Amino acid sequence: MSASNPFDQFDLNGSTALITGASKGIGKSIARSLGQQGAHVIISSRNQETLDQVKQEFIDQGIDCTAIAAKIGDPLSMQDLMEASLKQQGGVHILVNNAAANPSFGPLLKTDQAVFDKILEVNLKGPLELAKMCYPGMKEAGWGSVINISSVGG
């Protein structure tokens, strides 16, 4: 009796996954895994040049990929990301909110208000707004998944 691949049950052909913070680390690995399961992956981070390198790496591995730079937490940039995603893929079925910011280390009592605002914009408000932007397409498709990544430090 042969052992089956546990990933065989996760056939994502015909779906689109948007992964933020996907130019390195956890986000890149998640994007690769979703692409290997058949999803068209839209990778996003702040730097288009870096994204283009990851996109080429994925394409060389047989992964269907689009790369769109965006600043999570910036409403106009996120709107541009969603418009480009809709134009190129027609919608997003899987949203992985992986991008995060931690511009300050140390005691919260010593954190500058502007730094704290940035943390809230990128780590909380941005993911919520992206999920709200993805919802109509998920509803129309009859399914969707929003995955929020956090750290123990959060």
What is the C-alpha separation between 127 and 18, in angstroms, rounded?
12
The pLDDT value recorded for residue 142 is 95
DSSP per residue, 28-72: HHHHHHHHHTTPEEEEE-S-HHHHHHHHHHHHHTT--EEE----T
The pLDDT value recorded for residue 138 is 96
What is the C-alpha separation between 145 and 30, in angstroms, rounded?
14
Q: Which residues contact 52 (CB under 8 A, 6 or more apart)?
A: 67
What is the C-alpha separation between 59 and 80, in angstroms, rounded?
23
pTM of the predicted model as reported, rounded to 2 decimal places: 0.91
The pLDDT value recorded for residue 154 is 58
The tens-digit pLDDT sequence of the chain (154 residues) is 445 666 567 899 999 999 999 999 999 999 999 999 999 999 999 999 999 999 999 999 999 999 999 999 999 999 999 999 999 898 999 999 999 998 877 787 888 999 989 999 999 999 999 999 999 999 999 999 999 998 766 5
pLDDT digits (tens, 9 = 90+) for 10-21: 899 999 999 999
The pLDDT value recorded for residue 1 is 43
Handedness of CA 38, 40, 130, 44 (dihedral sign): positive
